[in-house]
Structure 1
Amino acid sequence: MEKVCYLFLLTVLLGGCSTQKNNQDSYVVCDSIVYVSEFPEQLSLPEVQPLNIEIPGCVDVFNVDSVLICKFYRADYFWHLYSLNTLRPLGNILRNGNAKGELLDLPGSEMDFIKDDSLYCSFDDSNKSSIYSVNLTKTIETGQLSYTNEVLSSDHKFLWAYQLNDSSFFLIKSYRMFGRKRSMLTHGVERDVNPGNINEAIPQKECNAIAATSAVNAEKMMAVEAYLHLPQINLYSLSSPKNVTLSLKPELESYSHVDETSKRDWYSYCGSMRAYQNYFGVVYYEKPYKDEWFEKVHNSSILFFDWEGTPLLKVSVPFQATSFFIYGNSLYIFTSCGEEERIYKYACPSKLRLDA
C-alpha cells in the first residue's frame, strides 16, 4: 500500500540536526527523521599500549560493574570472567552444551542489574526460548554457576529478548522470513511495538539488508537500533509514541536499494552499541563491506547521543574498534581486528563519566 509523502519546506535546525517527517515505504524509519550534521564535541584518542591481558579468540567484551566478561564462540565456556581492577581471572562460566545450565550458542541481549547487593546479568537463549539471570557475585564467590531461567511460551519465540523487570520483556522476532517484528511481553500479554514502519520493512532477498545491533534502557523504557548496512539509528520508546530516526548522512538510504545491490558493493556503517542511564553510544565505520572479506582494517569512531537523540560527542579511534564500555572514569575499547585481540583503556570524557 502506497503512502502519501509530505515534504516540509521548513526544516528545524537544532544542535547540528535537521528534522522532518517521513512516510516512505522503502525506508526502515520512525515517524520523524533527524539528520545529524555535527557533534557539539569531538575527541581524537591517541595510540596507547593495550592492557596486559591475553584473550585469544575473544569476539566481544562487556562489563558488569567491576567484572570484565570476555565472550568466546568456540570454547568450552562462552564467558571468561576477569576483574577490571586487577585483570585477575575470576573463572569461566556458561558451558557450551545441551545439558541443564548449558547453552548451544553464545548468548546475547545482556542486561545487568544489582539485587540484594549482588551483581546480576540477564541474557537470552533463543534456542530454548529462555531468559537466564546469573548471580555473578555468588558465582564468583562459590565457583559454581548460580542462575535462574524463565522459559517463555512457544507463542513468544524470539530472535533476541531483553528482560526489563520481573514481568516485562522486549522481544525482537523473525517476521515473514526476512523481516523483524518488535513487541512487549508483560505478564504474558504481548503487544506490538511499531514506531513508524520498522516492522513492515521486509527485504525480499537479504535479511542482512536491515541487520542491526540493539540496546535497551529499562529505566527509561527506550530501545535503540543501529543498522549495519544503513547509515542510521532508530530510537523509540517502549511505553509511549516517542520515536525518531537519526540519519548519519545527509540523505537516507533505502533498505530496498541495499537489498537489490550486490554484497560486494555494500557498506558497513554501525557496529556494537552500549546503553547507559543518560546516553547511548555506537561504534561507527563507514567502510566497504568487502574489506571485511580481506581483513582490511580501518579507523573508526564512537558516536554518543542522549535518549532524546541529541548528539553529545564523537570519539575518533585510531584503530578499528569492535566494541567499547565505560566503567567509572575509564573508557575501554576492544578490537578483534589484526593479529590478536586487544583491550585499550582511556580516560573517560567528563560528560560520559558514570561516577560524576
Structure 2
Amino acid sequence: MSLIIYSAIDPKINDGILYHLDLSDPSTYKTSCYEVLNSKWRVDNDNCYLETSTIHLPGFINDALLDIPVNINIKGSGNLESDDFVLLQYSTNNKWITIDSISGNIVPINNTVYSYLVKAISSGLSIKFRLSFSTNAQNEELTLQCSSTKDFCIGSPFISGTIQQYVWSNNPVNLSMFSAKNDTSDIIELYWETNNEYNNKFFSIERSVNGIDFKRVYTTLGKKYSNTKVSYNFIDTLSFKNRVYYRLKQISTDNKSQYFDVVIVTNSNLFKNDYCKVNVDPNPCVGKCLISVDNCSDSLNKVPLQFNLIDALGNITFINFSKDLIDSSTYKFDVENNLSPGIFIISNHKLFQNKL
C-alpha cells in the first residue's frame, strides 16, 4: 500500500462520489463524542472519533487495484498546540491504517480541504474511514465542516496508477453505435463508438458475403481503460454484387470475447436495378409481425419470396416461404415465440433486408 497526499483549497476529486458524510443521517456514521454536531462536527478539550458507515468498493474482489480519493474540510481554533492532532485512517480488515496525522499547531484557522489518494486498494472490498480529533485544553477546538457533499467524502475510485476512473460493469465495453455504409460500390466505411471500456484488449471486424460464413478482415487495439467516448473506424475495399455482412467482435485482456449486432451493407448499384423497400411492423417484433414490400422495380414482380431470420452471429434461425411478390404487398411473419430474445435480421436473399 502506498499513499499520495495533496492539500488544496479546491478538492482534487473526480465527479463521482461513493460516500459523503451527512450529519443529519446517523446511518452514515457513528461518533464517540462531540461538542457540536449539526452542519459541523466540533471537538473541544476531548479525544473523539467519527467513523463512516461501511463503504462497498465497486467491482469483484481482486478484479483491479484502485486509488481512492478522500476529502476532509477542517479548521482549528488558532490556539492549538503540537500535542493536539487530527488523525485520518482507513480499515478494510478491522485493522486501522493511518493516512495522515496533522499536528494541531499547523491546522489552519480557516476551512481548508485536505485531499488524499489512498492507493492500491483491491476492488470489491468493504472499507471504512475514521477521523479523530484530540485537544487537551478548554477552548482548543477542531472542527470538521459538513455543509456540502464534498466536505467529507469518498470519491469514485481510479484505476490504480492512472487518471482513468474505474467503471465497473459485467460488460467490458458499452457500445453506443456500430454502423456501415458504402458511398461507392467497392468502398465500405464502418464506424463504432464506446462510452466506456474496461480491460478491453482489441476489436476485430468480421465479414461475410452470405450472412453465414464470416472471416476476420480487420483488428485494432482497444483503449483498455476509458470512461469517455472513443470512436473507431475501418474502411474496407471490396467488390460485391448484392450485399455484404459485418459483425464486430470484442476481446478482453482475459481473452474472453463477445459479438455485437450484424450490420448489412447493400451495394449502391443494386438500388439502380432490382430493388424493393421493406418495412416490419411492429418493430421490435414480438412473435408476430407484418412485412410490407413496396416500391419494387418491374423486374421483381411475381418473384417467389423466401424470408430468413438471421441472428447476431449470422446464423439462419428461421425460414418461411411465401407467395409471389406483387407490387405493394403485405405478408404475415409468425415465429410463434420460438426464438430467444435478441436482435435479428429479416432477409430475402434476392431483394432486401431489415432489422427487427
Q: TM-score scaled to structure 1, two decimals?
A: 0.20
Point out which structure has higher relative CO (alpha carbons under 8 A, 6+ apart). Answer: 1
Structure ranking higher in helix proportion: 1
Give the greater-gyration-radius structure (CA): 2
